[in-house]
Amino acid sequence: MQIPVFVSVGSRLSSEQAQTRDHLYKLLRDMSLDLRTVGTSDYPSDNPLREVAVLARHCAGALILGFKEYQIETATRINSAEEDDHHEAINGQAWSTSWNQIEAGMCYALGLPMSIFKDDSVQGGVFDVGSTGLFVQRIPQLNEWERNKAKISEVLWQWRTQVQAKYYGDM
């Protein structure tokens, strides 16, 4: 029996990112997990936000894959909360799809066991150290996959144990 898990992943991946995603998906399918994603395995009949909520409620775990989608070379962060606006230079920061944040928040609120992976430079929200209480794993580059496969597999098996307990405990 396959256990349904919600996967949050951007839809605009480079070919290298897509290949890395596919390697991760193969590991997960070999663990008898049914990967569910809005727009890939499940297509919305309502608005996408509602569909995420409905789908996540029928899953026993969540995997958040933070692939780099936006790269900001130079910007200015303005903090208007201080008495005088504080301007801070930002250089070379990257973010994933904003859907990672929305979907992770919904899954966290549902109490789903979560596993979070991100590209090296991705930051913010659920990808920040300590924001969820989870260790955020690094997504290896495609050329590093074979060298890191055993470590990633071990991390995913530990998460799968939590997912299985949630699935069979909630039945």
Q: What is the pLDDT of residue 41?
A: 62
State the residue range of the domain holding 60. Answer: 3-169
Count of domains observed in the chain: 1
Higher per-residue pLDDT: 79 or 95: 95
Q: For the segment 44-94, what is each residue's pLDDT rounded down to a tens digit?
A: 667 888 999 999 999 999 999 999 998 888 888 887 666 677 788 888 888
Spell out a b/e string for 39-69, using b for 16 or more CB atoms within 10 Å of the CB, else e.
eeeeeeeeeeeebbbebbeebbbbbbbbbbb
Q: What is the pLDDT of residue 86?
A: 78
Query: With bands split at pLDDT 50, 70 and 90, how would you rate the model's confidence at 170?
Result: low
Q: What CATH number has the domain bearing residue 101?
A: 3.40.50
